[in-house]
Structure 1
Amino acid sequence: MPTAIIADDEELPRSALRRLLAEVWPALEIVAECEHGTDALEAIYRHQPDIAFLDIRMPALSGLDVAKAAAGRCRVVFVTAHDSHAFDAFSAGAIDYLLKPVVRARLLQTIDRLRERARLAQPAPDMEEMMAELDRRMRAGGNVQRIRWISASVGDTIKVIPIDDVIFFQSEEKYTRVVTAGDEAHVRKPIRELVEGLDPDQFWQVHRGVIVRAAAIEKVQRDEMGRIVIGLRGHADTLKASQAYAWRFRPM
């Protein structure tokens, strides 16, 4: 049974494409739906789908960057409201380029193309290579306004925390936990938005829900289940890293 992921930062287009695919290609199994590019790249690694239906414009990482970082791992179809990226899309190895709203007849043409194309013969890059390429692309992403202060809530007050005091950020339901050496607070800004304003040399994303100051890492080890656990200098909390970011901790 062929498998696929759908990545789009809007719920309605994702749902519409999922329903249409169920009608015209019932044998296709949707193994993941993603709201932004980083999720899509992790889903490609985790589920190893045959096909990725990617929106072009997504938070954190564009569909084009996902396609380039995951080149050879799956076949890519772009689904977008913009017709100005077709050249870049096909340069990135796309099988097809669909404009929203996707219509049944056009999707059937795409399915025919997908069925005709065998999986790429070249070996798929491993996840370390993919994430290293992603890291390089994010570092070279142009002039980014770096975060210098965090305005966070502590009880009924708003506290201004210098970014140099932050040890790690951690997602907690609707909030993001901001932890310093002697205090913690919460902000409403999600991890995927915070990471864009942080210096990647100082702050490492180690999980879709965790960003840690690299200098605060004391040790990294695996638990009895093989999961990566990060110990921090002078702090009792431990952090979990996902396999997608294991490449950061290879011995020199």
Structure 2
Amino acid sequence: MKVIIVDDEPAARGLLRDQLEEFGDLEVVAEAKNGVEAIVQINEHKPDLVFLDIQMPVLDGFDVLPYLKERPIIVFCTAFDHYALKAFDENACDYLLKPIEEERLEQCLAKVRKEQNKIENISEILTEKRGLEKIVCHQNGVHMVVWLKDVDLFRKEGRYTLAMGTNGSEYLTDLTIAHLADEINDANFFQINRSVIIRKHIVKSYRVLASGAGELDTFEHGSFSLSRSRLVDFKAWL
């Protein structure tokens, strides 16, 4: 976890740095002696955690916050207890009184790690690729929405892609096989060659040919070639 220490007192910065060195998962990447330096260092290094003094010349700790491009976990460190309510109004993770006791610092870091886990979990949820759930197709000149769960396979058909439905219906879409392969985030589908994507439950059998490529049979849609470059991944997928 990357850490920045902000304090206008050199002795206070040094003491906290020495205390933090006892924790193997923390790395102090920068220090700042005033609010202006703090803004520059935090925006440059993008730390996970900042220990931020409150009373400093020109800009105090609270004045720093609006200038941060990305908000790290903030722990306010001060010799005064009357800023506590304002600190938590600013969504600080914790509020430490100087001089900082070892036990109190350990408690603080336990809270910080929990907060970091929450942030990482939320980030994973926000960045997780949801993938296509439905596609716009056309059939006999009529446009319609077809749900991915109702498709057995996609096959290149001239300049279009043919979507073959589980009920025997066939639809055309303008989306290419390459685009569909990138956007479908469903483990039930697999691209077996440059022209075909299939759903797992339609696979009846497959065999490896002398060339190293493969061939697979489906229950209702005939046989398809299996690219040699996709064979290993296909076996793992199946």
Q: TM-score range by the shorter chain?
A: 0.3 to 0.5
Larger relative contact order (Cα-Cα within 8 Å, sequence gap ≥ 6): 1
- Given the two structures, how large is their TM-score scaled by the length of structure 1? 0.45
User: Which of 1 and 2 has greater Rg?
Assistant: 2
| TM norm structure 2 | 0.48
